[in-house]
Structure 1
Amino acid sequence: MSSIVPQGVAASDFSNALDEFAGVVGKDRVYVDEQPLSSYRDAYSPLADGEFLPSAAVAPEGVEQIKKILKIANAYKIPIWTIGTGRNFAYGGPAPRKSGYVMLDLRRMNRIIEVNEKYGYALVEPGVSYMQLYRHLRAIGSKLWIDPAAPAWGGVMGNALEHGAGYTPYGDHFTMQCGMEVVLADGEVIRTGQGALAGSKHWQVTKHAAGPQFDGMFTQSNFGVVTKMGIWLMPEPPGYKPFMITYEREEDLEAIFEITRPLKVNQIIPNAAVAVDLLWEVSAKTTRRHYFDGKGPLPQSIRKQIASDHKLGMWNYYGALYGPPPIIENNWKIVEDALMSIPGAKLYLDRENDPAWDYRVRLMRGEPNMTEFSIMNWIGGGGHVNFSPLLAPNGSEALAQYNLIKSRCHDHGFDYIGEFLVGWRDMHHILMIMYDRADEAMRKGAYDLFGVLVAEAAESGFGEYRTHLAFMDQIAKTYKHNDGALWDLHQRIKDVMDPNGILSPGKQGIWPKSMRTTS
């Protein structure tokens, strides 16, 4: 049995709470032994082993059990940490924000409640993965596409709640969310939007209802436990044209996004186009040690050799066009003329025996897969953490941010491995900090690098949209307009909605009153 007890909870009270949890879900669904609890750790963490470990886990099968679990947690003031599929890797995975929390594991709640072909949506529970939903749609003969994040095992609901993104025209997952069912800390169950109407016929058709909209309040927060969520799905288009363009120079990044911005804002390129750096792209095919066994960032001569060997650029741009073939071909002429105007650009409409190309082509048409996890082989040792600042689709801004981040990576002995993903009027910049977790110095270097990047990005006016557990407090403090008024508001809401502070304390830097002095 785990020797960890939640902070501030007497051992006898904790034991009583576990017994009561077992009375709700069954003894076999309350996990207290080391072996099952080991699955609730961040296997890729930049922290030392022994950080962020749960005291126990409880796995309900439905809303009624969740209500009873929350009643027990309130009675004993047990902090719980909610996960859906638990696949939020690079950001903390299934681990809790602090050691000692009890995991509220919703993976058993994995029903696809409805698929509506006419209006193009699904209603799902927290444990539904992208692959599960994809296979279900294929099994029922649906012509709807999902929009998966990079790894197929991720959760449809969890990724949307974390403001995640994908690569089809439906790539902004929270924008495509419509309607939630939420269990509040006191056990009350609410439905947002039209779901609040008794007998509603259109819960997943429109986000709007009378009064304020609360859906966003339950994303990246600890104000409730989301148990159902609607997600809009893309009807299969009559045509699909994926493409890849390689660019020879790092500084081409500026021109790439100056050209891309009007194409995206005007929806000529409708999907989430992405510029992938050389090392991220090649990691699907080879490893660093194949080219270089030294320490520190790769020499430029090695980078050029990699690009030559694999017919890649310093930047590798993927996008796709969708719709009736005549419209695709009309728009393609505009896209091709614009993006091929950069000297040295090379266009690919197919690449034989290239797993990276195959992966992107599948992803941009809504086929989930696990190819991107091959990036773990680039360094070996599995460690990775994502630094994820936001910026505009502005060429000079993108290049400046890239140069800043690359410089800090090199200062700390790391390669820059990243991609820029264009939404509509925004961009996500995803930096993958790779390290061997068995190398203590390398792991600590990754942690230190991340902290530096948070501070310097904020000084330059860039904030992160998502982060690892270990950096939630630091990033929350960078949003400091008017002495941090926004996070003050978060915590005022927390105090009203969850006075005992039981729901995911510290999530996104939102702490209950009882824990603020120790956070």
Structure 2
Amino acid sequence: MKTQAPPTLSESYSGVPSRLAAIAQEAKDRLYSHKTVPESVPRQHNVRLPPDTSRETFDEAVASLRQALGHENVVLNDKPLVDGWYLEHPNTHDAFHVVDQEELVCSAIAYPASTTEVQAIVKWANNYGIPIYPISMGRNVGYGGSAPRVPGSVVVDLGKRMNKILKTDADNASCVVEPGVSYFALYEEIQRRKLPFWIDCPDLGGGSVLGNAVDRGVGYTPMGDHFANHCGMEIVLPNGELLRTGMGALPGKNGADNPTWQSFQPAYGPYSDGIFSQSNFGIVCQMGFWLMHETGHQSYMLTFPRDEDFTDIVEAIRPLAQKGLLGNIPQLRHVAQELNVTGLPKSHWYSGPDPIPRDVIRKQAAQLPCGDCSWVFYGTQYGDAASIKTQLDIIKSAFSKIKGSKFYLPNDVPPDHYLHSRALVCSGVPVLRELDWLNWKPNAAHLFFSPITPTRGEDAQIVHNINVRLHKKYGFDLFPTLCVAGREMHYITNIIYDRSSDDEKRRAAALMRELIAEAASEGYGEYRTHLLFADQVARTYSWNNNALMRFNETIKDALDPNGILAPGRNGIWPKKYRGKGWELLGDSVEKAVGGRTISPDKVPSKL
């Protein structure tokens, strides 16, 4: 099945580099070959209005916003909803919808071209009392994409017209970017200028550098903690005022930017940057980042034969990670993922409707380069040849204590093996390989369950056991990835479901809800979650009578008294919405599938 060619970077800020055009085309064709539903179906409702807003007031507000931004830069969401795919994703709704496709939708999309225009949008929202929901590029797939938490909000798409690399400082090894700069774009610019730097990218390269960091996403080089490696932000506050954090608060000479803005993070006084990550306290319009100097590197793979090796593997990892001997943020994956990263559908490996049995996984893995194993560790070491050899000798010695472990270099496996993709990502080269996960099921979508555990076998085993038991209960294949960062691990589970099936959606939502509750009861909380589960996750952080949430609400009410900026994002609700039925708790998400019961607003949506 040949589909329309995906956009390239020369055609669109959100496109793919020409070096990956053929790969992107193949990935799209594979994914679309598994579709069993049309691109779109007729909408049941017209424009979804903002809460407590009449059509007359809404039309007046849209006319006013168009006057400020230009008619073509304010678009009503009244056309058929198309889920698309990674490189051609919607900014109207969640492409990986858990509830109905028409439920978490915006009323319109605004496209600002500058910080000044973002300020104008914020002031407009305060004037009309209409909620706005800013996105960078909307590619946080698995966590809600571009969907606003409050249906009928106006999405502020920062990426389309604010996509410049504002500064690249070779002496300081830093850059400043706008929200629409993708990892692909930043990498290509560095290559074009022949600068001796790497970027750090997550598994896929099409996301926003700024957006991923603000959401505290991670990558895989030594600079994999993206927010920790930012330096300086320019932020529009919910009242329309402009703020620069860090050294940017000190005016530069003759109106120029302060020369130390991207050199020192805290500046003087309270360090405020953190409150603008995973929050709804401001709109980040510019952000500085440190770049990594290029260096020698060697990626590798280790396999372990038994499921019960899990705790021993984690115990072997801990001292290596804490001593800094693991050069990057490595991954420990279950062998089941060796099947789905091939890009082949589940039906290729197993014809049953139930989760793929463990003996079938073993049998199929035996035919792959990893062999009949249970766990696969992907790592990368950095430095010169001699230091890399020393590091690898120590690592191989530590893991050799696990009977049957095997060590592989990239040249030990075929060119299409996943290890080669990891080698690129871990040396700062953004790729597309992770898209192949979605071929597992027809019309596939996914949710991420992402708790944090200490790097300790006992803790990791508790979370893993919860996952095993509940995935079996709800009938989903288990695909865990543990990203190791010294003293903690992100235990990321990818729940893959068919978004055309209401039954699978309900079961995925119920699985997610129960995973959150059980992990929290054992003391393990998520670092990031889908917007539909934000209220539940936020309430698990309840120490001292919900002191953290009360603190967040105090800040929210002070900065955003009219409650216009992304209400409900990460479970933080302003006074205007708080306690009025907007929170999603209990089984409300499952009940909303097929029922359109997410929002309590009384304004009819079929207008």
TM-score by length of 2: 0.84
Q: What SS class does the counterpart of residue 137 from structure 1 fall into?
A: helix
- Counterparts of 1:372 and 1:98, CA distance in 2: 30
- How much does 1:284 deviate? 2.0
Aligned partner letter, 1:74: N
Aligned to 1:318: 378
Counterpart AA for 1:315 = W
Instruction: Tell me the equivalent position of 1:500.
Output: 562
Match of 1:287? 345
CA distance in 2, matches of 1:338, 1:28: 60
Can you list the C-alpha shifts for 1:248-302, whole angstroms capped at 9, x where unaligned?
1122121111111111111111200110112223212132101212122211220
**More divergent stretch after superposition (407-416 vs 378-387):** 378-387
The residue number in structure 2 matching 1:182 is 235
CA distance in 2, matches of 1:97, 1:280: 31
The alpha carbon displacement at 1:444 in A equals 1.1
Kindly state the Cα deviation for residue 399 of structure 1 after the two structures are TM-superposed.
1.8
Given that 1:63 and 1:227 are in contact with CA atoms closer than 8 Å, whether structure 2 keeps it comes out as: yes
Secondary structure, counterpart of 2:79 in structure 1 = helix
Q: How does 1:201-220 map to 2 (within 5 A)?
A: 201-220=259-278
Identity %: 38
Partner of 2:216: 163
Structure 2 unaligned regions, length at least 5: 1-44, 83-89, 253-257, 583-607
Secondary structure at 1:333's aligned position in 2? helix
Match of residue 76 from structure 1: 128
CA RMSD of aligned residues (A): 1.3
TM-fit CA distance, 1:10: 2.7
Partner-residue secondary structure (3-state), 1:9: coil
Asked if 1:510 corresponds to 2:572, the answer is: yes
**505-514 or 297-306, larger mean C-alpha shift:** 297-306
CA distance in 1, matches of 2:137, 2:80: 15
Aligned residue among 86, 90, 93 for 1:41: 93
The whole-number CA distance in structure 2 between the counterparts of 1:26 and 1:283 is 46
Provide the C-alpha distance between the structure 1 equivalents of 2:394 and 2:115, rounded to a whole number of angstroms: 51
For the residue of structure 1 that corresponds to 2:267, the secondary structure is: coil
Contact 2:298 2:423 in 1 (8 A): no
CA distance in 1, matches of 2:80, 2:273: 33
Per-residue deviation, residues 127-173 of structure 1 (Å, max 9, x unmatched)? 11110101111011111101101111111011111111111111111
SS in 2 for 1:492: helix
Distance 1:394 1:303 in 2: 26
Q: Per-residue deviation at 1:36?
A: 8.1
**Which residue of the partner structure matches residue 465 of structure 1?**
527
Alpha-carbon distance in structure 2 between the residues aligned to 1:2 and 1:181: 36
Question: What is the one-letter code of the residue matched to 2:216?
Answer: H
**Mapped partners of 1:300, 1:269: distance in 2:** 30
Instruction: Tell me if the contact between 2:355 and 2:472 (Cα under 8 Å) persists in the aligned partners.
Output: yes
1:362 corresponds to 2:406:
no
What is the aligned partner in structure 2 of residue 250 from structure 1? 307
- Deviation of residue 432 (structure 1)? 0.4
Structure 1 residue 355: deviation in Å?
3.5
Of 464-473 and 38-47, more deviation after overlay is shown by 38-47
Residue 106 of structure 2, aligned match among 54, 66, 83: 54
Give the aligned partner of residue 325 of structure 2.
Answer: 268
SS of residue in 2 equivalent to 1:449: helix
Q: Does 1:5 align with 2:5?
A: no
Deviation (angstroms), 1:48: 2.4
Deviation at 1:204, TM superposition (A): 0.7
- Distance between the aligned counterparts of 2:502 and 2:351, measured in 1? 18
Deviation at 1:334, TM superposition (A): 0.7
Q: Structure 1 residues 46 and 148, CA, compared in 2 at 3 Å: closer, same or farther?
A: same
Quote how far apart the aligned CAs of 1:3 are: 2.4
Equivalent runs, 1:13-162 vs 2, <5 Å: 13-35=57-79, 39=90, 40-107=92-159, 108-162=161-215
Letter of the 2:397 counterpart: D
**Counterpart mapping for 1:373-388 below 5 A:** 373-388=435-450
Moved more, 326-335 or 387-396: 326-335
- Cα separation, partners in 2 of 1:33 and 1:485, compared to 1, 3 Å: closer
Cα drift, residue 33 of structure 1: 4.1
Q: 1:231 aligns with which of 286, 289, 292?
A: 289
The residue correspondences of 1:342-357 to structure 2 (distance < 5 A) are 342-350=402-410, 351-357=413-419
Q: Which consecutive residues of structure 1, in runs of 5 or more, have no partner in the other structure? A: none
Query: Alpha-carbon deviation of 1:45?
Result: 2.1
Amino acid at match of 1:272: I
Amino acid at match of 2:313: I
Give the paired residue count: 518
| CA-to-aligned-CA distance 1:409-459 (integer Å, 9 cap, x gap) | 011111111100001221101100011112221121101100111110110
Distance across 2 between alignment mates of 1:257 and 1:468? 27
Shift of 1:37: 6.8
Contact 1:37 1:57 in 2 (8 A): no
Question: Bigger CA drift: 319-328 or 368-377?
Answer: 319-328
Counterparts of 2:65 and 2:401, CA distance in 1 = 63
* Conserved? CA contact 2:447–2:494, under 8 Å: yes
Contact 2:338 2:365 survives alignment (8 Å): no
User: Once superposed, which parts of structure 1, at least 4 consecutive aligned residues long, lie more than 4 Å away?
Assistant: none
Distance in 2 between residues matched to 1:301 and 1:62, nearest whole Å: 56
Residue 424 (structure 1) aligned with residue 481 (structure 2): no
Q: Which amino acid aligns with 2:65?
A: F
Aligned equivalents of 1:508, 1:224: Cα separation in 2: 14
**Residues 460-510 of structure 1 deviation map (CA, whole Å, 9 limit, x = unaligned):** 100000000110011111111111110011111111100000100000010
Does the aligned pair in 2 maintain the 1:57–1:102 contact within 8 Å? yes
1:510 partner letter? I
Partner of 1:195 in structure 2?
Answer: 248
d(CA) in 2 for partners of 1:36, 1:414: 31
Q: Is the 8 A contact 2:497 2:504 kept in 1?
A: yes
Match of 1:414 in 2: 476
Alpha-carbon displacement from aligned partner over 1:97-136 (angstroms, at most 9, x marks no partner): 1211100110121110111222211111111111010111
Q: CA–CA distance in 2 between the matches of 1:406 and 1:157?
A: 34
TM-score normalised by L of structure 1: 0.98
CA contact (8 A) 1:2 1:55 kept: no
Q: Deviations over 1:370-391 (max 9, x none)?
A: 1101000012221211010001
Please state how far the C-alpha of 1:74 moved relative to its aligned partner. 0.3
Q: Which moved more, 1:217-226 or 1:328-337?
A: 328-337
| Structure 2: distance between partners of 1:20 and 1:430 | 44
> Are the aligned partners of 1:68 and 1:187 in contact in 2 as well (CA < 8 Å)?
yes
Q: Is the 8 A contact 2:310 2:461 kept in 1?
A: yes
